[in-house]
Structure 1
Amino acid sequence: MYQMPSVDALVIATLNPKGGTGKTTLAVHLARAAQLDGLDVVIIDTDPQGSATDWRRRAADVDAYDAPPVVSVTDASTLRSDLSRLVSSYDVAVIDGAAKLQGMTGAILAASDAVLIPVQASALDLWGTAEFIDLVTDRVHAGGTRAAFVPSARDVRTTLSAEVRDVLEDAGGDDVPVFDGTTRRVAYARSLAEGKTALDGYDATAADEITQLLTDTGQLLQ
């Protein structure tokens, strides 16, 4: 696998204020990929629904399975201090961003080295993300962070995914690239429901997609 840049600690967030875009799936899989790459990783669950936390509870019931730890942080005012404490013990912190919480969204943007924006191939997702994309682009232009779009659950049988990619490329310009992302595969949901990830022997294609995502993220941070 691709090695992340060698720095004291990295903070990577999966963030989109619209719900149902695949933030938790992306965060958990990216964290597991980095862990399998030999890095010490912690997942920061900022979503009051606690999906990543629930996944970790399931993982704890799986014999001989060393899942990344998950820490819940739902107070935007303490996010920076909590991160400062946590990253001293880990190589990478992956933040599972909450939906529709403006204060937390701003705090995550301010604290992250890279922001991955999962977007599904639908007009509703694009409409619901437009204002947030402008916010992220402004922060990237200011040199505050790096960002990329991650198309999620793409249906390779339709042209809609390609059309959405074109829209995202126009929106991001040279500053916010569009990764290949993930395709619609049962292994993602099935593995999470069982307290694991698609990287853990479920689907070779899904595993390759996540490995490529880790590579793309590492290159984004160079």
Structure 2
Amino acid sequence: MIHPLYQDLLGTNGWQDIQQLFTVLNWTTEYVVLRNFECLPNQYHLELHGDIDLLVKDAVEVSFITNATKVFLEEYRVHYQINIAGKTVFFDFRYIGDNYYCNDWEMSILRNKELSHKGFFIPNQEDYFFSLIYHAFIHKPTIAQDYIERLIAMASKLNIEHFSYQTLTNNKELKLFLDAYMSKKGYHYSVPNDLSVFFNSAALGGG
């Protein structure tokens, strides 16, 4: 005998925990946690980097699935809040075509994503390394020390040649390093649609 089950969709009144949220995302949509996922699921953010940054195929779809609400009214803002275990957790929903990274790179990150042992999708090691360099160099006025330490460790693990502390602390050297990779891949620098994102035009020779 079949017994009907009457209940709201998961997440309607908040999520039990972040693992439940990621399980539903895994079933329903394409996404990756772009960075700073090392502390998940036990902590929701690293001390210096507060939000959880997702790259998604469709930000509107993901906002409905997660029952997220926008924090700011501006259409270009993609900053959302989600109720997880009774707490407000902040997310940024970067999406294909938003120029956060160029379109080809964003599609590559999603296409080549990997399921972490913790149960959520992350970029593969190459995409994580180079997209983190881009983020630290282009989306920030200065590179955070914890990013420098993390990138040096990642470069060693990936056997990346000609990359060192000197590379990360010299804008000219870092741009040449990043230029070489992006040219090889056919990627380009892009000004984000989200006007709240810093764009380091000075590092690119734009003043």
TM-score normalised per structure 2: 0.29
Higher relative contact order (CA 8 A, sep 6+): 1
Of Structure 1 and Structure 2, the greater helix share is in: 1
User: Over alpha carbons, which structure has the higher Rg?
Assistant: 2
